Amino acid sequence: MMNLIYSKALRRILIDEPYEVLWAPSGQEGLELLAQQGDVSIVFSDQRMPEMTGVEFLGKVRQLYPETLRVLLTGYADAAAAMDSVNMAGASRYLTKALDDGELCQILAELTTRSRLERENRVLQAAIQEKNKQLAEWRRPVARYRENRRSGT
């Protein structure tokens, strides 16, 4: 099950979807919810919300939870917010609220797949690193043996 923090505007669309959906009314409460929840795969945020902008919120999410995918949602075609969402907050997507339900569900499915693949990739990378360490350990005695044979000892 995928965990999401999302804006109120998405509630009606996601209510019947197969995700564990979390909601926070402000950026600060969203950060508190993330701290309590731990592992959240995707965060949707409105650009305009109490206490901080969506870009500020997603920037903090990026610092604290770099693996979490971040999406900025806005009702305004704001080029500066779009650039900031990518540059400062590392957002995966910038969406306007004019999006239809089907398109939003398709984007969510794509992000869910991306998140799952990135998690699997991290697990596989860690396994490779561990195997490389083991291989280096196994090679040491062979390298010492060869060195001793070369030096005649």
Higher pLDDT, 87 or 43: 43
Predicted pLDDT at 80: 66
Q: Which two tokens stand for residue 47?
A: 């650009």
Which of 78-86's residues contact partners 24+ apart within 8 Å by CB, and which partners? 78/47, 81/47, 81/53, 81/54, 81/55, 84/55, 85/47, 85/54, 85/55, 85/58
Band (6; pLDDT cuts 50, 70, 90): very low
Task: Please report the domains of the chain, with CATH numbers, ordered by start residue.
Answer: 2-123 (3.40.50.2300)
- For residue 46, which of 62, 80, 70, 64 has the smallest C-alpha distance? 70
CA–CA separation, 49 and 53 (whole Å):
6
Give the global pTM: 0.71
β 19-23/69-74 pair status: unpaired
Planar angle of CA 41, 42, 48, nearest 5 degrees? 150
The per-residue pLDDT of the chain, averaged, comes to 81
**Which DSSP symbol is given to 97?**
T
Place of tokens 């690193």: 129
Residues 88-127 pLDDT 10s: 667 777 677 677 778 878 888 898 899 899 999 999 999 9
Predicted pLDDT at 2: 39
Rounded to an integer, the average pLDDT of 21-38 is 87
